Amino acid sequence: MSLDSFSPMVLSGSRSWFFHNNPSNKKIKKDELLLIDIGTKFEFYCADATRTWYSGNDSKIIRAIEAVDLSKKEAEKSSKINMTGKQISDIALKIIDDLGFGQYSFRKTGLSLGHFVGLKVHDGTSFENETLKKNMVFTIEPGIYIPDKFGIRIEDIKIL
């Protein structure tokens, strides 16, 4: 039995913009953006986390990482019982918009801010259509995806 809740993804450089890309033999270059999306299982329950690292000096990439990080922190802080997923998503999206990346946001790419997590890594209904209740487990994973350039996502699980 695998301890992974899904196949891990390691994406670098321009391959990171396509949020669920396939494995390749591409070598990761020095100072290239690196996105890792991993999940595991514990006692039948799933986990899911994504991190993006960058050690280069491209100011657009640095600003985009800062926008995603701030967006995630505000969405986590704002998540309260009886809010809808869409309300939380709108909070995250406003920060990305205000920082100049709205046209490349997770929503413009067709993604949600998050998803529910349980016995499956994507468990339950649409995050944005649901009203949050005590003990719900979900991800918050804003992202910026610039086609053929780079993608950034930072994801953690939140429990109300």
Q: How is residue 113 written in tokens?
A: 């801010």
> What is the C-alpha to C-alpha distance for residues 84 and 62, in angstroms, rounded to an integer?
30
> What is the C-alpha to C-alpha distance for residues 60 and 43, in angstroms, rounded to an integer?
41
pLDDT digits (tens, 9 = 90+) for 70-97: 999 999 999 999 999 999 999 999 999 9
pTM beyond cutoff 0.95: no
Task: Single out the residue of 70, 89, 69 nearest to residue 79, CA to CA.
Answer: 89
The residue assigned the tokens 């000096």 is 57
Q: With respect to CATH, is domain 9-159 assigned 3.90.230.10?
A: yes
pLDDT digits (tens, 9 = 90+) for 100-126: 999 999 999 999 999 999 999 888 889
> What is the C-alpha to C-alpha distance for residues 70 and 37, in angstroms, rounded to an integer?
19
pLDDT digits (tens, 9 = 90+) for 2-61: 688 888 889 999 999 987 777 788 899 989 999 999 999 988 899 999 999 999 999 999
> What is the C-alpha to C-alpha distance for residues 22 and 9, in angstroms, rounded to an integer?
8
- Bridge-partner residues for 137, per DSSP? 159
